[in-house]
Amino acid sequence: MPIYSYRGVDGAGKKTRGQLDAESPRSARSKLRRDGVFVTDFQETGAETLQAAEGAPRFNINVSLPSLRRIGALDLAMMTRQAATLVGAGIPLVGALGALTEQTEHPRLKSVLGQVRDRVNEGASLGDAMAATGAFSGLYVSMVRAGEAGGALEIVLERLADYLESQVRLKNKVSSIMIYPSVMLAFAGFVVGVLVTVVLPQITTLLNTLDQPLPFYTRWIINGSEFAREWWWAILLCLLLSLVAIRSAISTRRGRAFWDQLKLSLPVVGRATRLIAIARFTRTLATLLSGGLPITRALETAKDVANNVVLGRAIDKARVSITEGASLARPLRESGEFPPMVTHMIDVGEQSGRLDPMLSKIADTYDEQVETLVTRLTALLEPILILIMVGIVVVIILATLVPLLNVTTSLGG
């Protein structure tokens, strides 16, 4: 939907300016008239007119990259926090949405908020308006609907902002910790690539001129170097096809279940995967329950946030058990996928009637464990990567120097 910039005078005679989105310039002017704005300047944002000779054709090239315009969690969290502040200040919902639309800099989010404002202005609820855009998650929409139904929209928006900010912090911590190992791995690959493609060919030429029998490991390295130089495109193609095949297999139901089970069963990575999934699940469930959602609907939404089929099956069984009158802790414990500490704390929360605070404590504890575990893994990866890189370099050097030393020794003898 196009975005238009305008300048004008409001009903109080004050100058005003801003942006809004509409299907056409006529529709945009109509919206401004309904808001009591007399327009003095109006134009489409980003529109460019190509000055050409008379009779020359005009070209309008519009390149859209949706992936670059995706609404990030941090942008959504900031918008949610601002919305909670505006609603808490007693500003009408349409006015609050209009203010958010004007002050938001993210183009995609600005357009979405404009659509939400228009639908709310036409009589739709905020949750339904957000769901119609397709830009908000099921968790977000469910929380907003629950807040509207319970008359606690401000509190719900604050909790949503807290949840989104906690997810951003966890993601940033893990990403920052993994930067150094990634750089080390890339540098090791670069060093090996230079040795194989630049250094080894020159040494190979020298070894071939010696007309001496080469050790088997030297012949293997030379043959491997020649194969990599001649068939590098085939190696890259095979890697690409392998990635495509793996992604296609994971997209199926059985493939996704096998992949998720494999991740959970790995020695160290499996523990980190389980901790992250449980932290997301408990944090989301606590947020939804505190927002007033029924536990069965909250479990269904939180299951998707966990993003693991194996844990999702256990959560589904728990949801079915709850509809039959059972507790939440018992089916989770019987599944064997949740640690005893988690099920015990959930059991205590159910018995005391404080399930959502107990779930928040579980999420806080597991977030800290994830950060600690990833930090330890990173500290362990650093020397391992260094040893691997040094080992590869040493093997290549020995494989090329040993024949030269043998020749030198034979000549000296």
What value, to the nearest 5°, has the Cα angle with vertex 41 and ends 35 and 44?
Answer: 90
Cα angle vertex 193, ends 176, 181, to 5°?
A: 15
Give me the numbers of helices (H) and strands (E) for the chain, helices first please. 18, 3
CA dihedral 299, 304, 306, 311 (to 10 degrees): 70
Amino acid making up residue 83:
A
Confidence of residue 244 (pLDDT cuts 50, 70, 90): very high
* pLDDT at 355 exceeding the cut of 70: yes
Residue 8 confidence (pLDDT) above 60: yes
Question: What mean pLDDT is reported for the chain?
Answer: 79
Positive or negative torsion for Cα 149, 154, 159, 161: positive
Model pTM greater than 0.85? no
Short-list 361, 224, 218, CA closest to 285: 361
> What are the φ and ψ backbone dihedral angles of 65, each rounded to 5 degrees?
-120, 95
* 285 or 166: which leads in pLDDT: 285
Higher pLDDT, 170 or 92: 92
What tens digit of pLDDT does each residue of 19-37 get?
776 666 777 777 777 777 7
**CB contact at 8 A, 362 and 274:** no
Q: Looking at residues 38-49, what average pLDDT do you find?
A: 59
Return the SS3 of 9: strand
CA distances from 225 to 92, 105, 218, 233, 410 (A): 70, 51, 11, 14, 27
| Most confident segment among 52-61, 256-265, 396-405 | 256-265
- pLDDT tens digits along 126-185: 888 888 888 888 778 877 887 787 677 888 888 888 878 877 877 777 777 777 777 877
Whole-number Å distance between alpha carbons of 42 and 4 = 7
Strand order in the sheet with 38-44: 15-21, 3-9, 38-44
The residue type found at 329 is: A
Confidence (pLDDT) at 48: 39
Sign for the CA dihedral angle at 33, 36, 38, 39 comes to negative
Quick one: which H or E segment has residue 43?
strand 38-44
